[in-house]
């Protein structure tokens, strides 16, 4: 069954030989370092990264869908606040990845409920739900390690289940229905092992690898506050997650059916990758008294992108943000220790 993970993309190559999988720590001349024993509780530069190859892209209904693959890769799944390491199995062949976006605006869509079914000559090889995950090179995507029985041509059926969250503006009424698209994937181990691979001497240092965008697949990033509508009230940081807080009024707030709208854009430091699938509560105070408390609504908007928001009557002197549930994302190396505990942080606009 699918349900394990993906690796990030890199740009510097190390020649790989042989056709074995990355079952343990090597494949031909590629040597995969062990995880660091002293990882910081923060975003850090990983021990290694590899390149990714785009199989094909397609448009189906409202969605653009891209299929990519890389070497099999370890990653960490998150259930509540508990992290589970997903190691590479000896029979894993590739890290299969999908990216889903709005076909009109090229905005990458989280929470799209992606499943994959892989067939050979009409027979099912593997099927299941694909992890929502982030990596420093690929940003937000859906992925898992998969075992293929041998060199051959496979049909990969990607199903996008739809986005069960609020959509506003030009996104209202869209992405509710599911769509399915088939890709033909010619798997050749020797092709996989021409992908770039690089290790890093500064692994464990606070920081991140630069994103590795492709021409075929859009990147998932939060624009700088200066490019967003409304007034920036400030930012807070919790467990390395950056929460940028904006206030929209008048016409800018009207599409949210209010005159005043408070929004939080949660993203990684360094690369500004969105952090979806959080439970986020806001508490406002004025003169020491609490006057507003509510859970912010997960929302997809064409201008703000994925964010957490609520209509408000006023903005207090203090706004506390409590993370009830951290981003329920699988994470590639460099992100697995961040965005987990996330203590409450207070903003004083």
**CB-based contact 227:303 (threshold 8 Å):** no
Q: Residue 3's pLDDT is what? A: 53
pLDDT in tens, 12-30: 233 233 333 333 344 445 7
Q: Domains in the chain and their CATH numbers? A: 26-199 (2.60.40.2480), 225-347 (2.60.40.2480)
Q: Residue 43's pLDDT is what? A: 98
pLDDT greater than 50 at residue 5: no
Return the ∠ at Cα 217 (arms to 190 and 54), rounded to 5°. 10
pLDDT band at 307 (very low <50, low <70, confident <90, very high): very high
Q: Residue 225's pLDDT is what? A: 87
| pTM score over 0.85 | yes
pLDDT in tens, 198-222: 999 999 999 999 998 788 999 999 9
**Arithmetic mean of pLDDT, 37-42:** 95
**Percentage of the chain exceeding pLDDT 90:** 88
DSSP structural state of residue 33: P
Q: Residue 280's pLDDT is what? A: 98
Coil, strand or helix at 253: helix
pLDDT band at 83 (very low <50, low <70, confident <90, very high): very high
Distance CA 227, CA 269 (A): 17
**Arithmetic mean of pLDDT, 288-304:** 95
Beginning with the edge strand found earlier in the chain, give each strand of the sheet holding 152-160 in spatial order. Answer: 123-129, 114-120, 152-160, 179-187
Q: Residue 215's pLDDT is what? A: 85
pLDDT in tens, 194-203: 999 999 999 9
**CB-based contact 250:168 (threshold 8 Å):** no
Compute, in degrees rounded to 10, the torsion defined by CA atoms 76, 77, 80, 81.
Answer: 0
pLDDT in tens, 87-137: 999 999 999 999 999 999 999 999 999 999 999 999 999 999 999 999 999
**Arithmetic mean of pLDDT, 142-149:** 97
How far is Cα of residue 237 from the mean position of the Cα atoms in its chain? 19
| Tokens describing residue 294 | 């509510």
Coil, strand or helix at 227: helix
- What rounded mean pLDDT belongs to the chain? 91
| 224-232, Cβ contacts within 8 angstroms, sequence gap of 24 or more | 224/272, 228/265, 228/303, 228/304, 229/303, 229/304, 230/261, 230/263
pLDDT greater than 60 at residue 1: no
Provide the sign of the torsion angle of the four alpha carbons 16, 21, 27, 32, taken in this order.
positive
Distance CA 279, CA 263 (A): 14
The pairing of beta strand 279-286 with beta strand 197-199: unpaired
pLDDT band at 6 (very low <50, low <70, confident <90, very high): very low
Q: Residue 31's pLDDT is what? A: 82
- Burial label, 98 (beta-carbon count in 10 A; 0-12, 13-18, 19+): buried
């Amino acid at each position: 069954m699918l349900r394990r993970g993906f690796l990030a993309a890199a740009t510097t190559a190390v020649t790989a030989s042989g056709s074995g999988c990355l079952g343990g720590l090597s494949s031909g001349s590629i040597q995969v370092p062990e995880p660091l024993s002293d990882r910081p509780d923060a975003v850090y530069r990983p021990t290694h990264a590899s390149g990714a190859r785009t199989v094909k892209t397609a448009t189906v209904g409202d969605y653009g869908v891209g299929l990519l693959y890389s070497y099999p890769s370890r990653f960490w799944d998150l259930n509540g606040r508990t992290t589970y390491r997903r190691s590479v199995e000896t029979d894993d062949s590739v890290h299969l990845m999908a990216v889903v976006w709005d076909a009109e605006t090229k905005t990458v869509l989280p929470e799209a409920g992606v499943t994959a079914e892989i067939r050979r000559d009409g027979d099912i090889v593997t099927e299941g739900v694909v992890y929502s995950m982030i990596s420093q090179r690929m940003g937000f995507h859906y992925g898992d390690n998969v075992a293929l029985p041998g060199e051959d041509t496979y049909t990969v059926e990607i199903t996008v289940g739809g986005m069960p969250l609020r959509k506003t503006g030009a996104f209202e009424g869209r992405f509710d229905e599911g769509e399915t698209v088939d890709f033909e994937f010619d798997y050749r181990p020797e092709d996989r092992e021409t992908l770039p691979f690089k290790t890093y001497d500064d692994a464990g240092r606070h920081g991140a690898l630069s994103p590795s965008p492709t021409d075929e697949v859009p990147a998932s990033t939060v624009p700088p506050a200066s490019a967003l509508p409304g007034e920036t009230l400030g930012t807070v940081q919790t467990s390395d997650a950056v929460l940028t807080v904006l206030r929209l009024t008048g016409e800018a707030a009207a599409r949210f059916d209010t005159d005043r709208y408070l929004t939080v854009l949660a993203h990684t430091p360094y690369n500004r990758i969105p952090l979806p699938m959080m439970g986020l509560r806001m508490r406002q105070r004025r003169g020491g008294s609490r006057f507003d408390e509510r859970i912010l609504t997960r929302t997809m908007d064409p201008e703000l992108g994925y964010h957490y928001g609520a209509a408000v009557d006023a903005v207090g002197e203090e706004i506390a943000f409590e993370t009830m549930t951290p981003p329920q994302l699988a994470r590639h190396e460099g992100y697995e220790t961040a965005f987990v505990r996330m203590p409450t942080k207070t903003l004083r606009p």
